[in-house]
Structure 1
Amino acid sequence: MKNRIKDVLKEKGITQKELAEKIGMTEVGLSKAINGNTTNSTVSKIAKALNVSNEDLIVREKVLKAKYGSDKTPLHLGSLELPCYVLEDGTRVFSGRGVQSALGASPNSSGTWLSKFVNSKAIVMCLHPETLDKLNNPIKFERPSSSGSQSNTYGYEVTLLIDLCNAIIDADRSRELSINETYVKNANIIIRSVAKVGIVALVDEVTGYNKDKNRAKDELQQFLANFMSQEASRWVKTFDDNFFEMIYKMRGWSWTITSQRPGIVGTWINDIVYERLAPQVFTELKKKNPKNENGNRPYRYHQFLSEEIGHPRLREHISGVMAIGRISNNNWPTFMHNLDKAYPKQYQQLDFDFVPYEEITK
């Protein structure tokens, strides 16, 4: 347990050597007890010798609650994931296990791996003493929706990860001591990713754009509500056979199999049409039309577009795509090049969370 024995000794004008003699301990043993985890027995002896209560010597640890965040919504830095939380006092923290994993520790590593790593000779040499002290004293907090023995966990103030990554990179550059290549690679990924995100955040702040983010999100939700129906409408034939014939001709397929429309055409339609209609429309369509237990989507995406805005925009887009196909002389690469110029893909998610290509092709 944490203690304030040093402070009490100063208040009473007693040295550690004098206290050690009073309670029958060596000075080295007492120093370890004061600077480490003191036992209840030792605290009682010291309290009696100093004529104070045990409570006067013990620092009761307050367990903060995480108000925001979850291990299911990690921060993505390149290919790495870090569960992150904002505590009730505003402190931003990464989970200890998350930091270990992001740096490249084995999934089977114990919870003490990080402590051993930051106190290794190569890393200690590159860390400021104050940073090292904070890394050796993680913040205990309670995660949202957790209970029982798993209710409390430990985390680190988020900027400490940057300090640690810089120490890893500096240690590797010194070449005096060997650093695992995985740790160095991941440290570089984290530093570069944070730099990109950080510069965007700084620009947002100084320009005042961040103040408008909530308003922009509300407007986007209203736009999507107008663009889409809440439920699937009756299916009607929206894509004319000429549309599929155009695609088949550009891909060198026979027109006689147009009516079969193999699954790959669904991927092309997503690419050519739904990802280019408007911002976030494709993401919202996937949410409204999730895959069933068989891995299939039960409706056509266009069944969720509103009659007032969504369908007219879709028909207009298809007409434009057909025109681009004609001027591209049925050449697929030329067609896609012209399509990107006329109808560039719209951002489908905010906060750097893009739709994986693998998800689109499922």
Structure 2
Amino acid sequence: MAEDHHSKGGHSRAEKLSAERRSDIARKAAASRWGNLREAIGHEGSLKIGNAELACYVLDDETRVLSRASFVRAIGRTGKVKGGRKFDDEFQTPVFLSAENLRPFFPSDIEDNSKPIFFSDGASEMIGYRAELLPDVCDIFADAERAGELRSNQKHIAEACRILSRGLTRVGIIGLIDEATGYQNYRAANALARVLEKFIAKELQPWVKTFPEDFYRELFRLRGIKNPGTTFKKPQYFGHLTNDVIYSRLAPGVKDELSRTTPKLPSGRRKHHLHRNLTPELGHPKLREHLASVTTIMKLSNGYGDFIRKLDQIHPRFGETIPMNLNDWDSD
């Protein structure tokens, strides 16, 4: 009898729980089952595709997700999103993919993409799906429709997926979410950091003669200054010219990072040569390569203005004359 009493009491308490509270308990239980909640980076983005509007996020492990509620609305399912999910022997199947007639059209990676992701947006707990699931679902319904396997109650989903597919590709979804959430700026900053890591050494490198004498001979000539001969005592402003024609055009962000990491003496001169902060593996070889090209352009120029015009055509300043295409540098 005691067991019946406790059982009845448990049912009574469950009935008194609000729908919101029950949903919260279920959500936390699910989160416990599939691991700790992940965190979203930045704010929610709004991704508009056709007539659909999807809430999207980038998580702290760089996974791009779409909120489950907006996902199911976008594919034409109406009504409240159910908290429960159907399970089978192989993997956790979203309700909208649970019909057996769709199974033959599942791609090989559907198991990973269809698992719900539990995360926090900083204010509340959320459930989402990997962004890659959206084009998967569109393909599944399109393939089933072409094969004549769709049921009548699935045709409206196929139509919604057809509209989504017109403005969506599997590769493009990542870029669209990055733009909507502002993650593209974070991604660019990360890419630039990786470029600088390859170019800028963590420790000061030994001095090695790097700038050829021809570079300074040509710089004197182009500036209309008498060549001082073997002493090569250079005007102080030659440092500014070198920053412009060499370091500003060597690689994205390199000039600013070299200036930041190379202290100045009270006289205004640098404590040591900028190139001693370049990595021997990439930074220094790229500098030598760039110097050879710039010196050749100098020899083909009639004056400093002519030289800069030619240099701007061949080696524009990064971030000014041309955009900084980090993909050209952030590679193995």
TM-score of the two chains, using structure 2 as the length reference = 0.41
Q: Which has the higher contact order (CA 8 A, sep 6+)?
A: 2
TM-score of the two chains, using structure 1 as the length reference = 0.37
